[in-house]
Amino acid sequence: MREDKGIFYRIDWVVVGLYLALVFIGWLNIYAAVYNDTHNHIADLSQKYGKQMIFILAAILLALGILIIDPKFFSQFAWFIYGFFLFMLVVVIFSGRIVAGSKGWFAIGGFGIQPAEFAKMATVLALAKYLGTLDVSLARLRSIVVAGTIIMVPAIIVLLQHDTGSAIVFFALVIVLYRAGLTGFVPLAFIVLPILGVLALVVPKLILVAVLLIGAGAFYLYSNRKLRTIFLIIAIFLGSVGFVFSVDFSVNRILEPHQRNRIHVLLGQVIDLKGAGYNVNQSLIAIGSGRIFGKGFLQGTQTKYNFVPEQSTDFIFCTVGEEWGFVGSSVLVLIYLSLFTRLIFLAERQRSRFSRFYGYGVASILFFHFAINIGMTLGLVPVIGIPLPFVSYGGSSMWAFTIMLFIFIRQDSYRYELV
């Protein structure tokens, strides 16, 4: 086989190439987003683009480090790593500092480290480890509960840090569970329930209930009409109706005011261009004014004159949209889609169950960030502050995503040895 060859002959250069492309695009756009006439060198360390360059260099060093670690290490120490980061998540609640309302940061020198970013990687490791165990079958309730717990524990701790965005990301791992054999109803529910929730807020409830009733009737007519199926249809129907009526309560009582505002703004029920709707409106103005080819590098007026808040981090996609236009934005979207499909392809060729599920986990987490982040800048998803992987400014996310990705690249490079 290829064990005699060096690591550089074994790693998947397609993924590495896509990774480097994203990192480079991110760096250029951070430069444009926070461009400062008096410090216009892209490596000026007093500016965010200079710092991002350091983050990138450090991330590459981390990647190289991971590539020389024994690939068996990650599956063997998966539980330990998971445990370690759960511990860190708890510690940060008590000793961390508050950034943007979230209490999830360790201050180390001038930088902040956000354990939640690393916890995603650790959770993927643990989940893959568990699902890779031979006697686990997600057809059994016990396995579902264990897998669910692995995902929910870090999510709940992160939620306690008031970092709702990062907490939601963990739900992306349902894709891994689905691939591992979980019934399709669960991921379907993840897609259908948000849609039903939006409809519940927009459409009169009685109409919605009538539509659900018709749907249930249709299912019954096309079903095998066994008692079990009928019960299932009735249960789903009643559950849906209950959900519809609980949405108002959830939105008004459970969500925090700023989250509630973001939902109302997204649904167009509140037009508040100076308050909750400001970010999204300015974001759409930036992207929309880019037209086909964009305004050109460093020529975006929305970007240059700071109309979009958080533009180097969560709203970095605006800069791409404004300065590179439809062409540039589409290229970025296509790079991501290529990365995700490549990761799925690589995952499928793994012989080790651990490696395969880990690959799915990486793809799911990255995809979820991509979908929420770009959906948010395009005004399709409520404002949820999570970074665009490899592109947004920030050390923690850059390092955590890099480590997560390169662990998989490392696994893939030894796919013949790992069983």
State the residues that interact with other proteins by CB under 8 A. Answer: 175, 178-181, 281-282, 284-292, 301-302, 304-307, 321-322, 325-326, 329-330, 333-334, 336-337, 340-341, 344, 347-348, 353, 360, 363, 367, 371, 374-375, 378, 380
Complex with other proteins: residue 262 or 304, whichever CB lies closer: 304
* Smallest separation, CB 26 to other proteins (Å): 18
∠ CA 406-41-59 to the nearest 5 degrees? 10
Residue for token pair 């849609």 = 195
Complex with other proteins: residue 195 or 292, whichever CB lies closer: 292
CA distance to 141, 186, 275, 287, 303, per residue, from 281 (Å): 45, 34, 10, 10, 14
Q: Three-state DSSP class for 97?
A: strand
* Smallest separation, CB 269 to other proteins (Å): 20
DSSP 8-state secondary structure symbol assigned to residue 415: T
Residue 108's DSSP bridge partners are 111
Q: Give the integer Cα–Cα distance in Å for 293 and 346.
A: 34
Q: Three-state DSSP class for 349?
A: coil
Complex with other proteins: residue 25 or 287, whichever CB lies closer: 287
Complex with other proteins: residue 1 or 134, whichever CB lies closer: 134
Residue for token pair 């249709």 = 218
CB contact at 8 A, 286 and 303: yes
Q: How many CB atoms lie within 10 A of CB 138?
A: 19
Residue 102's DSSP bridge partners are 99
Phi-psi region of 102 (alpha: psi -120 to 50; beta: other; left: phi over 0): beta
* Smallest separation, CB 286 to other proteins (Å): 7
CA distance to 289, 325, 327, 408, per residue, from 299 (Å): 12, 12, 16, 38
Cβ-in-10-Å burial (0-12, 13-18, 19+) of 187 comes to middle
Complex with other proteins: residue 19 or 178, whichever CB lies closer: 178
Phi, psi of 103 (to 5 degrees): -100, 55
* Smallest separation, CB 383 to other proteins (Å): 16
* Smallest separation, CB 212 to other proteins (Å): 24
Complex with other proteins: residue 53 or 343, whichever CB lies closer: 343
CB contact at 8 A, 12 and 412: yes
Alpha helices per DSSP H over 293-377: 301-304, 316-348, 353-377
CB contact at 8 A, 250 and 203: no
Complex with other proteins: residue 10 or 342, whichever CB lies closer: 342
* Smallest separation, CB 365 to other proteins (Å): 13
Complex with other proteins: residue 153 or 331, whichever CB lies closer: 331
* Smallest separation, CB 255 to other proteins (Å): 24
* Smallest separation, CB 158 to other proteins (Å): 23
* Smallest separation, CB 304 to other proteins (Å): 8
* Smallest separation, CB 317 to other proteins (Å): 10
Complex with other proteins: residue 89 or 180, whichever CB lies closer: 180
Angle subtended by helix axes 395-413 and 115-132, to nearest 10: 20
Complex with other proteins: residue 379 or 395, whichever CB lies closer: 379
Give kind and range of the element (H or E) at residue 112.
Answer: strand 111-113
